[in-house]
Structure 1
Amino acid sequence: MPKVLFLSRYARLGSSSRLRLYQYLPYLQEAGIDVTLAPLFGDDYVRSLYGGKIDKLSVLKAYVDRLGFMLRAARFDAVWVEKEMLPWVPAWLELGLFPAHAPLIVDYDDAAFHRYDQHRLSLVRTLLGRKIDSVMLRADIVIAGNEYLANRARNAGAARVEILPTVVDMARYGVAASGAGGQALPTIGWIGSPATAQFLHLIAPALREVAASNLARVVAVGANADQLGDLPVTALPWTEATEVTVIQSFDIGIMPLPDAPFERGKCGYKLIQYMACGKPVVASPVGVNSMIVRDGVDGFLATTHQEWVSALTRLIADRLLRQQMGREGRHRIENEFSLQKAAPRLVRLIESVLE
């Protein structure tokens, strides 16, 4: 049985690690892969991160533990890494501590390289600006969540680049009747984390205009109430156990994004979640959003204030259109963004490194 070491950034509570690794575990184990999980940061760290209080000693311990796994990596048949092994450590040191001949798979679901090459400090840009490129170059396979990330890997000289989008488990994501939340008004919903809740302010005027009409309510799942300021938005808590049920209570899903380098590397997961539940979407045409949303078919792409207001008011007023777009979106996700389709492919990619 081949042994693979999985060096994820987080444990299951971290969304990127949960989606890019943990939901695949049953498929990997069924394929006969002996999985060793070694997240850099545990769930307590994620809770502290979103709460704004990080224990520096726990971070130091995490790095020491990670270093131990890196030094033992040669005992495994392959190593899967989420983004990088030691964040904020130069590539020459990180890769120097990693066995030279250990087969390496690296996975990216966001533009982690822009945290360095777009950093405000020139020292960081100088020391780390090409770090991720060096990791990509060292990898036997780079698995990228979209074309933007894949293109960076190709430009870095990666030996092999494969695109595997972020996906949802269709066994979890069912379609509920419109208005499943029991609300008198249609619900415009957003789901995410405190790290991305700020993007709701990009469409603040549109949300205010729609809310002022008293024709819909707006909710934000996973945002802290104090982040929303005077937005006409109700903050709701996020848990993995309830996220699907909450999305099913939406009538429309939204994903505003700024057109900036880091955001161009996002994988559009919110849209995939909404569409998997049969909900029409309205999104900024940034990065992969423009590929996921077929404008006028399963949702609308909106840039200007008027485009956002027009798209939202049209969907609010037309229940049949919401249902039609929702069906189209659900079908798209089943065929192109489902765990059931992606899992066998990830297994094959890992097995190809083991050969």
Structure 2
Amino acid sequence: MPYKVLVLTKYGSLGGSSRYRFYQYLPYLKSQNFDLTIAPLLDNQYVTNINNGQRNFTNVLRSYFQRLVRLMRDRDYDLLWVEKELFPYIPEWLEHKIIGNIPYAVDYDDAQFHIYDYYGSKLTKTLLASKIDRVMAHARLVIAGNKYIASRAERAGAKHIEIIPTVIDLDRYSIKNSIDPSRALNIGWIGSPGTSTYLKSIQSVFEDVYRHHNCAFTLVGAGALTLGNLDLNIKKWQENTEVEDIKSFDVGIMPLDSTPWEEGKCGIKLIQYMACGLPVVGTPIGVNQEIIAHGVNGFQANNLHEWTEYLSKFASDPQLCAEMGAKGREMVESKYCLQVTAPKMAQLLRACI
């Protein structure tokens, strides 16, 4: 008999966290005797609207109601596979009552608990500060994207915790052609309008590097971002073109702030860059410190001076870009790809059932 699993993602397939942590696993899991029903809380139209700066709370409430009806009506599942929580900003005791005796596995690719205990309003902190801890404690399995999340699950009393990094599918990513030294070095970033604010912290770096080297800046998914008078090539993110867009880069970057929220990030940008054979520069916080082998596949930049120094190194040395890019691809092939993690995911979900 197949294993019946209700997959309760937060977003449709256009939501990055849902796409990488759930949707890309579905074909393999189906081949392993899993009968999967996909039920996102917020659909692709919601994701598109958010990226365009549009919010419709009536539609969100309707989505909550639809999920509630599904869970109350359809109980014939061996396992619920949940992204983060069933209903954001709803107390855990109510979620637990709705789930009843159906076992569930819960997956985190960011520090969702800090939405409530760190960034929340006074009322949110009072009512929900320990919500995610309770979700983790009641889960049959907590799948954490990194050690920071796993350590929180351990403190929460989770029964079973496994770390599975956020990964890419090697079948979708090929290595870019060698850098043409006669053209400008293309420094690239990929993300969403919500995360593009990190780029503002290194605006002066872009200006310094541009002033002294032949370089260009391409930002994919940044929305209507401006960085002073810099000439930015901003492209709209599209799933069917994202790999080719990344392959147009020569160096991939991931600047971050230094707060508890960033500790929970899973570094997917870095992994995408390296999968295409690009060297990287990133802020050494959280899992970035594990993904970036300093001086091997890229550089960890601790301050603005180091950001300028390392990007300047790449602008002056195409061979260094190629050598570090090759090392990055090797790391992705050995650790950060679906081909490595999918069998483990199937084993874990099967064990839950």
SS of corresponding position for 2:70:
helix
The one-letter code matched in structure 2 to 1:81 is V
Q: Deviations over 1:166-203 (max 9, x none)?
A: 000001110021348x9821100000001100000111
Matched-pair contact (CA < 8 Å) for 2:203–2:227: no
Structure 1 residue 73 displacement after superposition: 5.6
- State the match for 2:214 in structure 1: 215
Distance (whole Å) between structure 1 residues aligned to residue 74 and residue 292 of structure 2: 41
Distance (whole Å) between structure 2 residues aligned to residue 73 and residue 163 of structure 1: 30
- State the match for 1:165 in structure 2: 165
Q: Aligned runs of 1:1-355 on 2, under 5 Å?
A: 1-72=2-73, 74-99=75-100, 101-179=101-179, 184-228=183-227, 230-354=229-353
Identical aligned residues as a percent: 45
Query: Which range moved further: 48-57 or 11-20?
Result: 48-57
Structure 1 residue 316 displacement after superposition: 1.0
The one-letter code matched in structure 2 to 1:350 is L
Cα 1:148–1:216, aligned 2, differ >3 Å: closer, same or farther? same
Structure 1 residue 74 displacement after superposition: 3.2
Q: Deviations over 1:28-59 (max 9, x none)?
A: 10001000000001000011111121222211
Query: What is the TM-score when the length of structure 2 is the normalising length?
Result: 0.97
Structure 1 residue 84 displacement after superposition: 0.1
Query: What is the TM-score when the length of structure 1 is the normalising length?
Result: 0.96
For structure 1, the 5+ residue unaligned runs are: none
SS of corresponding position for 1:188:
strand
Distance (whole Å) between structure 1 residues aligned to residue 347 and residue 81 of structure 2: 14
SS of corresponding position for 2:50:
helix
Distance (whole Å) between structure 2 residues aligned to residue 254 and residue 281 of structure 1: 6
Distance (whole Å) between structure 1 residues aligned to residue 73 and residue 147 of structure 2: 33
For structure 2, the 5+ residue unaligned runs are: none
Structure 1 residue 249 displacement after superposition: 1.0
Distance (whole Å) between structure 1 residues aligned to residue 103 and residue 182 of structure 2: 53
The one-letter code matched in structure 2 to 1:276 is A
Structure 1 residue 150 displacement after superposition: 0.4
The one-letter code matched in structure 2 to 1:37 is I
Matched-pair contact (CA < 8 Å) for 1:175–1:276: yes
Cα 1:31–1:259, aligned 2, differ >3 Å: closer, same or farther? same
List 4+ stretches of structure 1 deviating above 2 A: 225-234
Distance (whole Å) between structure 1 residues aligned to residue 233 and residue 73 of structure 2: 48
Structure 1 residue 226 displacement after superposition: 3.7
Matched-pair contact (CA < 8 Å) for 1:179–1:249: no
SS of corresponding position for 1:74:
coil
Count of matched residue pairs: 352
Matched-pair contact (CA < 8 Å) for 1:73–1:98: no
The one-letter code matched in structure 1 to 2:234 is A
The one-letter code matched in structure 1 to 2:184 is L
SS of corresponding position for 2:171:
coil
The one-letter code matched in structure 2 to 1:44 is Q
Q: Deviations over 1:223-247 (max 9, x none)?
A: 0134545444321111010110011
Matched-pair contact (CA < 8 Å) for 1:211–1:232: no
Cα 1:231–1:286, aligned 2, differ >3 Å: closer, same or farther? farther
